[in-house]
Amino acid sequence: MNLPVTVNQEQLLDILLNIAGNLNSDAANWKYNEDSEYGRKLDRDFGEIVLSCIDEGIEEGVEIGERILGIPGILVGGVIGAVSGGVRGVFEAVF
């Protein structure tokens, strides 16, 4: 059950001041730290996902290309598979 809530400006200001007063005021907490372990792990995970998908795309592309065009299809299929695998990897990593 959702009840309508009305808040006047003074109450809203009190709520916002209460939230602001409880924020971590340590300056280091608000600085962007590109050397953080979390950032390195996130980059590594993103890269691993993309590279894995590129590898899978190459394998699938080579297999399909060889069936369709023979030896030239290996090259064409590998390139197309790498590109499509890279795109798929980016989407998998982001979403």
pLDDT in tens, 1-29: 565 667 778 888 888 888 877 777 777 66
Distance CA 45, CA 89 (A): 11
What pLDDT is recorded for position 42? 74
Q: In the structure encoding, which two tokens stand for residue 12, read together?
A: 């809203």
pLDDT in tens, 50-59: 999 999 999 9
Distance CA 30, CA 94 (A): 24
Instruction: Using pLDDT thresholds of 50, 70 and 90, give the confidence band for residue 92.
Output: confident
Report the pLDDT averaged over residues 72-93: 91
Distance CA 60, CA 41 (A): 28
What pLDDT is recorded for position 84? 93
Distance CA 58, CA 74 (A): 9
